[in-house]
Structure 1
Amino acid sequence: MEGLIKTSTELPDMLVLEILSKLSVKSLTRFRCVCKPWSSSFETPHFITKHHQNNLKNNNLNLLLKRCHGGTPDDIHYFSQLSTEKYQNFRVKHNIHLPFFENFLHGPFVHGPCNGILCLADLGSIVHNVALWNPSTREFKILPQSTVQRPPGLLDYTSFNSLGFGYDSQTADFKFVRFVTNYFEENLDEGLMADWNNQVELYSLKGDSWKEISFPEVDGFASILFNNYVNGFIYCQAVAIDQLILSFDMVNEKFSISPLPEFGGSLEQYYLELLDFNGLLGAIFYPREGTDKSFDLWVMNGSWTKQFSVESVLGVERPLGFWKNGELFLESSDQELVLIDPSIQELRNLGIHAYQKTMHITGYVESLVPLNGRSEHKECIIRRPVGGESN
């Protein structure tokens, strides 16, 4: 018989693929060698989607922690892959160094995950380096430099503000959006003066290209702690307008604005982080001052409603991300990773350290999505098993 597999029971090909779609990426990588039809099937959109949906359904989350473990924030930033196995939760399995970003202050900002893909962007003011990374398949793609034309008379630098990374479901395309501020000289009677204007650029993975899109009436800046892509939209805080959210539709490539929840405070007193909370837009507020922190989570589902409050947690600095069952990762005032269960207000120290305010945690499910890039090995990305070393 011809098909994906020959056994004494002659399992139907669709049943075999259904079973395989529930396996880890590591197992599927090994099974590519079993036969060519299997290897080809793993690359089809249907199988890739089915595999990702199974991981979402079973909540098979993986954890990456970006941090700096040196004595200053300018030391090299790297990623630590944390174990999510039972009885070994949150032990460091691997430390991952990305040479492409090691020459940039504070390392890359992390956008995503989106379908298992992370978008990494540095803070360079002259050249803005961006890369896509699938940590499951260990594929890495450095984005080409923008071909969008700049206005004449530029000074020595152009600044970039990353808005976010998301997915266009209509065209099956991943897109990255950023604001660009161009600084140039204006020759007036009283002498040369600096001036600036703004552009918005969009990168398409499908076309592997950049283009300029319409600039909104207000600009914005994205969270550096949480994933700001939710169900086809990127969300960020509007600049200079205290109570508005700027959103971007990945399909129509249009901006719009909407109000923040009436949380009873001012953004002069509270930090705001926008995030994906169980498939809905969430907004978490916490005080700018003090180490006796409270955290309020609001969720948009037709209207803003308060999901929960965490009151008076001593010795913590800021939230880092949500884990299963609504547990919240926090950075302590001792620069350690801690986990709190809001339902019982219980704080658990995980024994993982970093230099102050350099932690960024990302929970993602495995994905087979291809990037048309290169392997981590070819990009000189180094993974070092930790073993018995300290976190």
Structure 2
Amino acid sequence: MFNIFTRDIVLWNPATRQYRLLPKSLDVKPKDWYEDRDFVGLCFDVETKDYKVIRVSSYEPRYENGPIPGRNVLRKVQIYCLSSDSWRLVDSDFHTHRSGQVIGQSLNGIYFHEGVDFTADPIVRSVILSFDLRKEKYQRVVQIPEQDNWFELESIDDKLACITSPYDRTIFIYKVWTLNDYGTAKESWTEIYRVNFMTPEIEIRYGCCFDGILAISLNGKFCLLKYDSLLCYNSITDEIEDLGFGEGLHLPTLTATAYKESLVPLNAEQQLKLSPRFWVVPTPPRMPDI
């Protein structure tokens, strides 16, 4: 969990209910630059069997007047290792800029998260950034399945998955994709199914009040949907079931994820008062059974 005001970061294990307040990260802010935003992601290094936190801080000149904000951004990348309980600065020479606080995915030693490619002149393109946890550096950019679409990252059967939807908010069709043969010449996206909220049956029953897919199960067969309450979509039967809860929640800002439990202790003793308005919760990484 990341406090966007104090910049404090807390690790929390929902399986053991333990937490750890991490030490403050390094002060790497350049003189006469201001901090635009931070991005924090939780990862698992499959080689060292260590939990890591990646923090990307973006700094912009105080008087930047460039035609496209973000081109002159200076980025500092820090890594926290649970085994050493310490931060260190790592190589951050990459020409993309991550915007907002969107959940990423940790899979097979790679941390994927959303980014913007400012090198694609004259058009700025949305891309997927990949951070190699062993080398501790950004290694390559993955193109999204469909440009000119909103997209969110998930994981299905230990593969990177992506949900795309049109920029046009009057079109309620969500496509679910998986990335096959990552890192090879055969790398490609495959659409595995789509959720169409515009069929006559769904419009009669629910109207047009859907706010998208909130989360996908680890096997990809079920989707948690945001409506006036929470719904479950079964991709096998193409049916929607009302789960009977979620009323009263502020669904537009609600996040959820499926995760695999781990019993790794965090050995924390601090008492924290967490205000849910101020914390961003990154997705727990996919971890091996322990």
Structure 2 length-normalised TM: 0.74
Contact 1:222 1:236 in 2 (8 A): no
Structure 1 residue 234 corresponds to structure 2 residue 234: no
| Contact 1:246-1:257 within 8 A present in 2 as well | yes
Question: Map of 1:143-162 to 2, 5 A cutoff?
Answer: 143-155=22-34, 158-162=35-39
Q: Is residue 163 of structure 2 the alignment partner of residue 284 of structure 1? A: yes
For the structure 1 residues 290 and 159, does the alpha-carbon distance in structure 2 shift closer, same or farther, using more than 3 Å as the test? closer
CA distance in 2, matches of 1:243, 1:358: 22
Among 322, 333, 347, the alignment partner of 2:216 is: 322
| Pair 1:358-2:253 in alignment | yes
Structure 2 counterpart of 1:55 = none
Once the two structures are TM-superposed, the CA of residue 163 in structure 1 deviates from its matched residue by 4.6
Over 3 Å counting, the alpha-carbon distance change for 1:154 and 1:329 in structure 2 is same
Structure-1 separation of matches of 2:262 and 2:9? 20
1:252 maps to 135
Structural RMSD (CA): 2.7
SS at match of 1:199: strand
C-alpha separation between the residues in 1 aligned to 2:89 and 2:239? 48
Answer with 1 or 2: which has the greater Rg: 1
What does residue 310 of structure 1 align with?
A: 195
2:173 corresponds to 1:294: yes
Give the superposition deviation at 1:295.
1.4
Question: Alignment partner of 1:182: what SS?
Answer: strand
Aligned AA (1:307): I
C-alpha change, 1:123 and 1:279, in structure 2 (3 Å) is same
Distance 1:137 1:319, change over 3 A: same
Mapped to 1, the partners of 2:273 and 2:40 lie a distance apart of 28
Task: Give runs of aligned pairs for residues 100-111 of structure 1, distance below 5 A.
Answer: none
**Partner SS state of residue 362, structure 1:** coil
Deviation at 1:322, TM superposition (A): 1.2
Q: Pairwise mapping of residues 255-266 of structure 1 onto structure 2 (< 5 A)?
A: 255-263=138-146, 266=147
1:117-151 Cα distance to aligned partner (Å, 9 max, x none)? xxx11323xx4121100122111111111124332
Shift of 1:324: 6.2
Identify which of 134, 137, 158 aligns with 2:13: 134
**Inter-partner Cα distance in structure 1 for 2:73 and 2:274:** 37
Separation in 1, partners of 2:95, 2:83: 28
Alignment of 1:1-391 (within 5 A): 120-124=1-5, 127-155=6-34, 158-183=35-60, 185=62, 197-221=74-98, 227-240=104-117, 241-242=124-125, 244-263=127-146, 266-267=147-148, 270-290=149-169, 292-302=171-181, 303=187, 304-313=189-198, 314-323=208-217, 326-332=221-227, 334=228, 336-351=229-244, 352-353=246-247, 354-374=249-269, 378-379=271-272
Q: Distance in 2 between matches of 1:140 and 1:222?
A: 27
Equivalence for 1:83: none
Q: Distance in 2 between matches of 1:238 and 1:227?
A: 10
The residue identity in structure 2 corresponding to 1:135 is P
Q: Unmatched 5+ residue regions in structure 2? A: 64-71, 118-123, 182-186, 199-207, 276-290
Q: Distance in 2 between matches of 1:324 and 1:281?
A: 11
Paired amino acid for 2:194: S
Give 1:359 shift: 1.3
Deviation at 1:219, TM superposition (A): 2.9
Native 8 Å contact 2:197 2:210 kept in 1 = no
For these two proteins, the number of residue pairs brought into alignment is: 243
Alignment CA distance shift 1:234-1:220 (3 Å) = farther
Q: Distance in 1 between matches of 2:99 and 2:180?
A: 21
SS in 2 for 1:207: coil
In the superposition, relative to structure 1, how do residues 198 and 149 fare at CA in structure 2: closer, same or farther (>3 Å)? Answer: same
User: For residues 286 and 356 of structure 1, what CA distance do their matches in structure 2 show?
Assistant: 18
- TM-score w.r.t. the length of structure 1 is 0.56
